[in-house]
Amino acid sequence: MQEDSVLLIDKPSGMTSFGVVARVRRKLSQQLGKKARVGHTGTLDPFATGLMIIVTGKECRNAGTYSKLDKVYEATIRLGQTSSTGDPEGELTEVSDVVPILDEVKAVLGQFVGEIQQTPPIYSAIKINGQRAYKLARKGETVEMPVRTVTIFGLDLIDYIYPEVKIRVHVSSGTYIRTLAEDLGKVLGTGAYCTQLRRTKIADFSIDDSVLLDPDQY
Protein backbone atom coordinates (compact mmCIF):
# COMPACT_ATOMS: atom_id res chain seq x y z
CA MET A 1 0.00 0.00 0.00
CA GLN A 2 1.50 3.32 -1.11
CA GLU A 3 0.91 6.90 -0.01
CA ASP A 4 -0.29 8.31 -3.36
CA SER A 5 -2.29 5.56 -4.98
CA VAL A 6 -5.59 4.15 -6.22
CA LEU A 7 -6.80 1.05 -4.35
CA LEU A 8 -9.53 -1.30 -5.57
CA ILE A 9 -11.36 -2.70 -2.56
CA ASP A 10 -14.08 -5.36 -2.45
CA LYS A 11 -16.36 -4.11 0.33
CA PRO A 12 -18.08 -6.79 2.43
CA SER A 13 -21.73 -6.57 3.42
CA GLY A 14 -22.52 -4.91 6.74
CA MET A 15 -19.76 -2.31 6.55
CA THR A 16 -20.25 1.34 5.70
CA SER A 17 -18.17 3.02 3.02
CA PHE A 18 -16.78 5.35 5.68
CA GLY A 19 -15.80 2.26 7.66
CA VAL A 20 -13.79 1.05 4.67
CA VAL A 21 -11.98 4.39 4.47
CA ALA A 22 -11.26 4.34 8.21
CA ARG A 23 -9.74 0.87 8.05
CA VAL A 24 -7.55 1.68 5.06
CA ARG A 25 -6.47 4.95 6.70
CA ARG A 26 -5.50 3.14 9.90
CA LYS A 27 -3.47 0.53 8.01
CA LEU A 28 -1.69 3.04 5.78
CA SER A 29 -1.02 5.39 8.70
CA GLN A 30 0.67 2.53 10.55
CA GLN A 31 2.86 1.83 7.52
CA LEU A 32 3.82 5.47 6.98
CA GLY A 33 4.25 6.37 10.63
CA LYS A 34 1.97 9.38 10.18
CA LYS A 35 -1.70 10.10 9.57
CA ALA A 36 -2.53 9.16 5.99
CA ARG A 37 -4.93 11.02 3.75
CA VAL A 38 -7.53 8.56 2.43
CA GLY A 39 -10.85 9.06 0.63
CA HIS A 40 -13.47 7.19 -1.36
CA THR A 41 -14.92 8.01 -4.77
CA GLY A 42 -18.52 6.95 -4.22
CA THR A 43 -20.36 5.18 -1.44
CA LEU A 44 -21.92 1.74 -1.32
CA ASP A 45 -24.88 1.05 0.99
CA PRO A 46 -23.98 -1.01 4.08
CA PHE A 47 -25.93 -4.05 2.81
CA ALA A 48 -24.20 -3.89 -0.58
CA THR A 49 -20.89 -5.48 -1.54
CA GLY A 50 -18.35 -4.95 -4.25
CA LEU A 51 -15.99 -2.53 -5.86
CA MET A 52 -14.91 0.69 -4.21
CA ILE A 53 -12.15 2.93 -5.52
CA ILE A 54 -10.14 4.24 -2.57
CA VAL A 55 -7.68 7.08 -3.15
CA THR A 56 -4.75 8.01 -0.93
CA GLY A 57 -2.43 10.98 -0.58
CA LYS A 58 -2.19 13.26 -3.60
CA GLU A 59 -4.56 11.00 -5.55
CA CYS A 60 -7.38 12.29 -3.32
CA ARG A 61 -7.51 15.40 -5.51
CA ASN A 62 -8.82 13.19 -8.35
CA ALA A 63 -11.66 11.65 -6.30
CA GLY A 64 -14.29 13.71 -8.11
CA THR A 65 -13.15 12.39 -11.47
CA TYR A 66 -13.50 8.77 -10.37
CA SER A 67 -16.91 9.40 -8.78
CA LYS A 68 -18.36 10.50 -12.14
CA LEU A 69 -17.54 7.22 -13.89
CA ASP A 70 -20.30 4.82 -14.97
CA LYS A 71 -20.84 1.63 -12.99
CA VAL A 72 -22.05 -1.97 -13.33
CA TYR A 73 -24.09 -3.72 -10.65
CA GLU A 74 -25.66 -7.11 -10.11
CA ALA A 75 -28.82 -6.95 -8.03
CA THR A 76 -31.52 -9.20 -6.64
CA ILE A 77 -34.96 -7.60 -6.41
CA ARG A 78 -37.84 -9.06 -4.42
CA LEU A 79 -41.35 -8.55 -5.75
CA GLY A 80 -44.49 -8.44 -3.62
CA GLN A 81 -43.15 -6.27 -0.81
CA THR A 82 -41.74 -2.81 -0.24
CA SER A 83 -39.12 -1.63 2.22
CA SER A 84 -39.03 1.76 3.92
CA THR A 85 -35.36 2.05 2.93
CA GLY A 86 -35.53 0.15 -0.37
CA ASP A 87 -33.28 -2.58 1.04
CA PRO A 88 -33.35 -5.41 3.63
CA GLU A 89 -32.66 -3.03 6.51
CA GLY A 90 -36.01 -1.24 6.31
CA GLU A 91 -39.52 -1.97 7.52
CA LEU A 92 -41.21 -4.38 5.11
CA THR A 93 -44.77 -4.05 3.88
CA GLU A 94 -46.75 -6.66 1.98
CA VAL A 95 -48.10 -5.18 -1.26
CA SER A 96 -49.31 -7.88 -3.62
CA ASP A 97 -49.30 -11.62 -4.25
CA VAL A 98 -49.72 -11.17 -8.00
CA VAL A 99 -47.08 -13.17 -9.90
CA PRO A 100 -45.98 -11.42 -13.11
CA ILE A 101 -45.08 -13.69 -16.00
CA LEU A 102 -41.55 -13.64 -17.43
CA ASP A 103 -42.55 -11.62 -20.50
CA GLU A 104 -44.08 -8.93 -18.29
CA VAL A 105 -40.88 -8.62 -16.27
CA LYS A 106 -38.77 -8.42 -19.42
CA ALA A 107 -41.04 -5.79 -20.95
CA VAL A 108 -41.00 -3.58 -17.87
CA LEU A 109 -37.22 -3.84 -17.46
CA GLY A 110 -36.89 -2.67 -21.06
CA GLN A 111 -38.79 0.50 -20.19
CA PHE A 112 -35.95 1.63 -17.94
CA VAL A 113 -33.17 1.48 -20.53
CA GLY A 114 -31.99 4.88 -21.68
CA GLU A 115 -32.27 8.29 -20.04
CA ILE A 116 -34.78 8.22 -17.16
CA GLN A 117 -35.91 10.31 -14.22
CA GLN A 118 -35.18 9.06 -10.70
CA THR A 119 -36.05 10.30 -7.25
CA PRO A 120 -33.21 9.17 -4.95
CA PRO A 121 -34.21 7.38 -1.73
CA ILE A 122 -34.54 9.50 1.40
CA TYR A 123 -32.23 7.02 3.13
CA SER A 124 -29.19 8.09 1.11
CA ALA A 125 -26.03 10.11 1.61
CA ILE A 126 -27.26 12.99 -0.55
CA LYS A 127 -26.99 16.31 1.25
CA ILE A 128 -30.18 18.34 1.75
CA ASN A 129 -29.54 21.84 3.11
CA GLY A 130 -26.11 20.73 4.25
CA GLN A 131 -27.24 17.57 6.03
CA ARG A 132 -27.27 13.94 4.91
CA ALA A 133 -30.75 12.90 3.83
CA TYR A 134 -30.65 9.67 5.82
CA LYS A 135 -29.89 11.56 9.04
CA LEU A 136 -32.92 13.80 8.50
CA ALA A 137 -35.09 10.78 7.69
CA ARG A 138 -34.00 9.00 10.88
CA LYS A 139 -35.11 12.06 12.86
CA GLY A 140 -38.55 11.69 11.31
CA GLU A 141 -38.23 14.89 9.31
CA THR A 142 -39.91 15.28 5.95
CA VAL A 143 -37.28 15.14 3.21
CA GLU A 144 -37.94 16.43 -0.30
CA MET A 145 -35.59 14.63 -2.63
CA PRO A 146 -34.79 16.36 -5.95
CA VAL A 147 -35.56 14.40 -9.12
CA ARG A 148 -32.50 13.70 -11.22
CA THR A 149 -31.84 12.51 -14.76
CA VAL A 150 -29.75 9.33 -15.01
CA THR A 151 -28.90 6.92 -17.80
CA ILE A 152 -29.32 3.15 -17.88
CA PHE A 153 -26.90 2.03 -20.59
CA GLY A 154 -27.82 -1.64 -20.35
CA LEU A 155 -30.13 -3.81 -18.25
CA ASP A 156 -29.97 -7.60 -18.54
CA LEU A 157 -32.22 -10.12 -16.83
CA ILE A 158 -30.04 -12.82 -15.27
CA ASP A 159 -32.84 -14.89 -13.75
CA TYR A 160 -36.46 -14.70 -12.65
CA ILE A 161 -38.01 -17.11 -10.21
CA TYR A 162 -40.81 -15.34 -8.36
CA PRO A 163 -40.46 -13.43 -6.13
CA GLU A 164 -36.82 -12.77 -7.08
CA VAL A 165 -35.64 -10.88 -10.15
CA LYS A 166 -31.89 -10.94 -10.72
CA ILE A 167 -30.42 -8.31 -13.02
CA ARG A 168 -27.14 -6.89 -14.27
CA VAL A 169 -27.29 -3.15 -14.94
CA HIS A 170 -24.82 -0.65 -16.44
CA VAL A 171 -25.61 2.86 -15.24
CA SER A 172 -24.38 6.44 -15.15
CA SER A 173 -23.01 7.98 -11.99
CA GLY A 174 -25.71 8.99 -9.54
CA THR A 175 -28.09 6.14 -10.36
CA TYR A 176 -29.69 4.40 -7.39
CA ILE A 177 -30.38 0.69 -7.85
CA ARG A 178 -32.68 0.73 -4.82
CA THR A 179 -34.82 3.29 -6.63
CA LEU A 180 -34.71 1.22 -9.82
CA ALA A 181 -36.01 -1.76 -7.83
CA GLU A 182 -38.82 0.29 -6.30
CA ASP A 183 -39.80 1.75 -9.67
CA LEU A 184 -39.88 -1.74 -11.18
CA GLY A 185 -42.30 -2.80 -8.47
CA LYS A 186 -44.49 0.24 -9.05
CA VAL A 187 -44.82 -0.43 -12.79
CA LEU A 188 -45.52 -4.12 -12.23
CA GLY A 189 -48.00 -3.25 -9.48
CA THR A 190 -46.36 -5.66 -7.07
CA GLY A 191 -44.11 -3.47 -4.99
CA ALA A 192 -40.40 -4.35 -4.82
CA TYR A 193 -37.17 -3.71 -2.98
CA CYS A 194 -33.51 -4.61 -3.43
CA THR A 195 -32.34 -7.56 -1.32
CA GLN A 196 -28.80 -7.96 -2.66
CA LEU A 197 -26.52 -5.54 -4.48
CA ARG A 198 -22.98 -5.98 -5.76
CA ARG A 199 -20.92 -3.46 -7.73
CA THR A 200 -18.71 -5.30 -10.20
CA LYS A 201 -17.25 -2.52 -12.36
CA ILE A 202 -16.49 1.18 -12.31
CA ALA A 203 -15.69 2.16 -15.90
CA ASP A 204 -12.72 -0.11 -16.77
CA PHE A 205 -11.95 -0.94 -13.14
CA SER A 206 -13.10 -4.48 -12.33
CA ILE A 207 -13.95 -6.34 -9.14
CA ASP A 208 -11.64 -9.07 -10.46
CA ASP A 209 -8.67 -6.79 -9.75
CA SER A 210 -9.78 -5.78 -6.26
CA VAL A 211 -8.67 -6.86 -2.80
CA LEU A 212 -11.30 -8.27 -0.46
CA LEU A 213 -11.33 -6.13 2.66
CA ASP A 214 -10.59 -8.24 5.72
CA PRO A 215 -11.52 -6.17 8.81
CA ASP A 216 -9.10 -8.21 10.91
CA GLN A 217 -6.21 -7.01 8.73
CA TYR A 218 -7.24 -3.37 8.73
Q: Are 166 and 134 in contact (CB under 8 A)?
A: no
Residue 169 · residue 41 · CB < 8 Å = no
Q: What is the per-residue burial (b if ≥16 Cβ within 10 Å, else e) of 41-71?
A: bbbbbbbbbbbbbbbbbebbeebeebbebeb
At 215, the amino acid letter reads P
| Separation of alpha carbons 185 and 78, rounded Å | 9
Distance in angstroms (rounded) separating the CA atoms of residues 160 and 106:
10
Interacting residues of 162 by C-beta distance below 8 A, sequence separation 6+: 79, 80, 99, 100
Which entry of 10, 45, 87, 183 is annotated as an active-site residue? Answer: 45
Q: Does 45 participate in catalysis according to the annotation?
A: yes
Cβ-contact 74, 168 below 8 angstroms = yes
CA nearest to 142, candidates 151, 150, 133? 133
**Does residue 129 contact residue 144 with C-beta atoms inside 8 Å?**
no
Residues known to be catalytic: 45
